Amino acid sequence: MSRPSDPRARPIAVFDSGVGGLTVLHELLVRLPQEDFVYLGDTARFPYGDRSREDLERFALEIAEELLARGAKLLVVACNSATAAALPALRARMLQTTLGVDVLGVVRPEAVQAVTSTRNGRIGLLATEATVASGAYGEAVHAADPWVDLVPVACPALAPAIQAGFPADEQLVEIVRGAVAPLREAGVDTVILGCTHYPLVRPMLQRILGPGVAIVTSGAALARQVEHALGSRELANPRSGEGDYRFLCTGDPDAFRDLGTRFLQLPLGEVERVRLQAREAA
């Protein structure tokens, strides 16, 4: 596959287990309209939340090879489970490439923002089982402020419910109420949404948590970090107009397009189906 001769013209690659990462891509498209993007949703292997660390690391490395082959200049892991399990392995792999591609994940930006936001030193985390079990958010929060308490709550049913189309019915409300109950009991004043699917039900979460609880999502904070990374490496696209964005998925392209349009709040256009496999080192 041919690549632009100017590295600044290469796309930013973003991936997630499904369509949830489109909430991150939306922020990137708004903040960096001049950039090109390629997004891969691993919908054939969704959900990631109950996978082992070994599986998640293997999935992430397979996806990275696919996106490197498509000329990525920066890799954004818009999946909390994959960030928590595979970020070190991804960074080690990307450093082996000719251009030394940077890898950014969603955990640290959210943790730093939450520490800045909290007033009483009690932060809640809603995330998948894999993300909670990894301890990645606890490490990131305590690295930012060792005196802050983190209350993690695994919510295995929420991401699949949202991926399925998140009908705002009583079943979804009960899933959210059950997840939020331990956080209310713990008296947290800030909640990290540790899954990129969760912002789609943010109004429901805010209502149940109450207006005094700050909700932290990954999109805006990660978009600022991406902008900084491009600037520091002189990789920002110099064009004045809008860039392009395109989509890949490992499952049903039509289902991805239909649901993805609701997540991205922009038209998706054609979605290409890909079959992931190990590739030669770039």
Task: Examine residue 1 and state whether it is found in any structural domain, yes or no.
Answer: no
Strand order through the sheet with 190-194: 149-154, 122-127, 190-194, 214-216
Task: Indicate the number of domains in the chain.
Answer: 2
CA-to-CA separations, 29 to 36, 141, 253, in angstroms, rounded? 9, 27, 21
pLDDT in tens, 22-31: 999 999 999 9
195 as an active site residue: the answer is yes
- What pLDDT band is residue 281 in, cutting at 50, 70 and 90? very low
Helix residue ranges, H only, the chain: 22-31, 53-69, 80-95, 107-117, 129-134, 136-144, 158-163, 170-186, 202-209, 219-232, 253-264
* pLDDT band with cut points at 50, 70 and 90 for residue 90: very high
Question: Mean per-residue pLDDT for 192-196?
Answer: 93
Confirm whether 239 is domain-assigned. yes
pTM of this structure: 0.88
Q: How confident is the model at residue 228 (pLDDT cuts 50, 70, 90)?
A: very high
Is the domain of 212 the same as that of 116? yes
Residues 118 and 208 in one domain: yes
Biggest distance spanned by C-alpha atoms of the chain: 56
CA distance 215 to 242: 30
pLDDT tens-digit map of 100-128: 789 999 999 999 999 999 999 999 999 99
**Which of 217, 244, 261 is where one domain is finished?**
217
79 in active site: yes
Q: Which domain holds residue 112?
A: 108-217
Active-site entry in 76, 79, 125, 158: 79
Q: What percent of the chain has pLDDT over 70?
A: 95
- Over residues 263-274, the mean pLDDT reads 90
Query: How far apart are the C-alpha atoms of 78 and 37, rounded to whole Å?
Result: 13
Among 217, 243, 263, identify where a domain stops. Answer: 217
- Residue 207 CA: distances (Å) to CA of 153, 157, 276: 18, 19, 40
Whether 170 and 234 map to the same domain: the answer is no
Between 280 and 48, name the one with better pLDDT: 48
- Which is more confident, 3 or 199? 199
Q: Are residues 25 and 150 in the same domain?
A: no
Residue 205 lies in a domain: yes
Q: Is residue 22 part of a domain?
A: yes
Domain check: are 142 and 65 in the same one? no
182's CB contacts (< 8 A; 6+ apart) are 124, 151, 153
CATH code, domain carrying 141? 3.40.50.1860
Whether the pLDDT of residue 184 is over 70: the answer is: yes
In Å, how far are 1, 21, 33, 132 from 27, measured between CA atoms?
A: 28, 10, 10, 25
**266 burial level (CB within 10 Å; 0-12, 13-18, 19+):** middle
Q: Is residue 280 part of a domain?
A: no
Catalytic residue (choose from 195, 216, 230, 249):
195
Residue 246 domain-assigned?
Answer: yes
Instruction: In whole angstroms, give the CA distance from residue 167 to residue 55.
Output: 30
Give the count of beta carbons closer than 10 Å to the beta carbon of residue 268: 20
Rounded mean pLDDT of 152-171?
84
Query: Does residue 51 have a pLDDT over 50?
Result: yes
pLDDT tens per residue across span 168-177: 678 888 999 9
281 part of a folded domain = no
Q: Where does a domain end: 198, 217, 236?
A: 217
Task: State residue 62's pLDDT score.
Answer: 96
Would you say residue 279 lies in a domain?
A: no
Please, which residues have CB within 8 angstroms of residue 113's CB and are 6 or more apart in sequence?
A: 216, 221
